[in-house]
Structure 1
């Protein structure tokens, strides 16, 4: 049983969720998706571990399937068809707003509506779409134009709450003036904690918006299971990322080795330490690791109950200064500002 919880923001401020969320991407966005049995067991175990009154925050997307299909949502629908009583014990957040079968954002009113309708069709009425978030902001459209489209669909009852993904602090501030933003999803980890990230976290705290911190395990690097680039399958997309290149990964693993000693001292796993550190950045921060394995899913959830002392946090801060990440979050040819629209 886990104990620590968090609340979302804006109109969803009365929604209580587990301190650690559950990302579903890895269940279907892979060459060989996991079986329904394995996926269902991981989701169900997390829900069963929650305190009374708390929901498990589930994170999916319209494009989390091979060929950027709706396979992940279809899996979610099958889960709730099998376990209909669990629908009200979860909070479902889904990213969308890209073109069908592509990772190209289209912020037009027509495409946002198409995306939401596609999500609802894939869910087949098995689970309420609690929160919708455009996966990336399309720079062809002002955030105020997004607000008009999203607010319209909320009023129509297509979904309940509005989220944002990979936007900067100024965009969050502008958006919140014209629409009630319940959550902002950004990457936060001991390998991704830039000034822009800190600004978003601070702005969301000021505005009482939850931060959904995806990849708190640094795309797996902070679990301790990756010892070199050779541990990553040749078909794995992480092979393309700068931080995993031969000239960078050795340096980045020095931080992992140093953190491992702290985890051992505290009697927790390296993954739990990494998730707990993200959660310690604020009461409004909800770490979002992903897993399709029961043991890992429960290990992640329990990390929400790990308490880090001031001494622990100070020691980790020193390690971050000593071993700053080498390599871009994604590719050196595309800066974080370009890719994530930090503008």
Structure 2
């Protein structure tokens, strides 16, 4: 089993983003039921954020309510929280003052119901040296407020610079059949070299493989995908070509395309010298959670076929647009 902070975690984790970061978030009661089932199924690497929702109602509020209700689950879950943005904004601020504000706010919102196992800056602040930011978080690790430090959307060079200041417990980055970038840009290699596991977010290609979106109009109003180039206009339909190939393999295997996508990400863990890779799909409902946790194994031929799709079919459009694009691979 993979380990994070010395604790065993499931080969598939659990993302909280969709539960509180939507135009119309679902009721906490439904989310809590799904979270409870996640623990039962062994999805105990949980990923949330101070930025997932509003300052008045975000994933920290949901987590506090969950662990207050189920205190016996607190030690079972490895909790990673993103923060260090300017309050109420998506702009990164990795200054020592804002790092302290963010960590203290996260700890306050958890209310003692759960320890803040991992803290990571949602993005690298281009105005603050990463060494300064990591040193600031490390002070809170030594004070016992935080269990360890993780990084989000960083380059291989930044990982090495950060690790030179303090051990890095995990790196979170988008990884999927649509986004295999880390295997080409040195991020996976740097993590393998330093023994750092990767949390792979959006492993199911941001809904392309769940069957929920077959045209741009299917994306809900207020959804962040409206600002992502690969979900816009002609790019969307070009990208369905990759979806069709994955659906073909899933049909032959008798499973869901999303399960094939998750299996492919899991299969990269330890393969070709890769580090441990733990997918953290965002999940809203118990049926979808159970679908994600149904373990599907790929044959070497199926992995090779999927690798060939990735190699031959170009994904059209970037992962992020606008200001977000400038903060990738910080």
- Partner Cα distance (2:324, 2:138) in 1: 32
Aligned to 2:58: 71
Q: Which runs of 4+ in 1 moved over 6 A?
A: none
- Partner Cα distance (1:111, 1:339) in 2: 18
1:82-161 superposed matches below 5 A: 82-161=69-148
Offset, 1:175: 1.1
Query: Quick check: 1:59–1:93 contact (8 Å CA) kept in 2?
Result: yes
**1:61 pairs with 2:49:** yes
- Partner Cα distance (1:44, 1:341) in 2: 34
Offset, 1:270: 0.8
**1:80 pairs with 2:67:** yes
1:288-299 superposed matches below 5 A: 288-299=280-291
User: Can you give the 5+ residue segments of structure 1 that lack an aligned partner in the other structure?
Assistant: none
Aligned residue among 29, 35, 45 for 2:21: 29
- Partner Cα distance (1:232, 1:189) in 2: 19
Aligned to 1:324: 314
Offset, 1:65: 0.8
Offset, 1:306: 2.3
- Partner Cα distance (1:71, 1:136) in 2: 18
Give the stretch that moved more between structures: 156-165 or 229-238. 229-238
TM-score (structure 1 length as normaliser): 0.90
**Cα deviation code 1:39-61 (max 9, x no counterpart):** 011111111122xxxx7011110
- Partner Cα distance (2:147, 2:324) in 1: 34
Aligned to 1:285: 277
Offset, 1:203: 1.1
1:226-305 superposed matches below 5 A: 226-283=213-270, 284-302=276-294, 305=295
Offset, 1:164: 0.5
Offset, 1:219: 1.1
Query: Quick check: 1:62–1:70 contact (8 Å CA) kept in 2?
Result: no
- Partner Cα distance (1:217, 1:173) in 2: 28
**Cα deviation code 1:209-253 (max 9, x no counterpart):** 010111111111122332111211233221221101111111101
**Cα deviation code 1:143-190 (max 9, x no counterpart):** 211221111111101111110111100110111122110000011111
Number of positions where the alignment pairs a residue of Structure 1 with one of Structure 2? 325
Superposed CA RMSD in Å reads 1.7
- Partner Cα distance (2:19, 2:188) in 1: 28
**1:47 pairs with 2:21:** no
**1:17 pairs with 2:4:** no
Aligned residue among 306, 315, 318 for 2:296: 306
Aligned to 1:166: 153
Query: Quick check: 2:124–2:327 contact (8 Å CA) kept in 1?
Result: no
- Partner Cα distance (2:36, 2:107) in 1: 22
Query: Quick check: 2:84–2:92 contact (8 Å CA) kept in 1?
Result: yes
Q: Structure 2 vs 1, CA of residues 334 and 25 (structure 1 numbering), >3 Å: closer, same or farther?
A: closer
User: Can you give the 5+ residue segments of structure 2 that lack an aligned partner in the other structure?
Assistant: 271-275
- Partner Cα distance (1:334, 1:26) in 2: 21
- Partner Cα distance (1:198, 1:261) in 2: 29
TM-score (structure 2 length as normaliser): 0.94
- Partner Cα distance (1:69, 1:264) in 2: 44
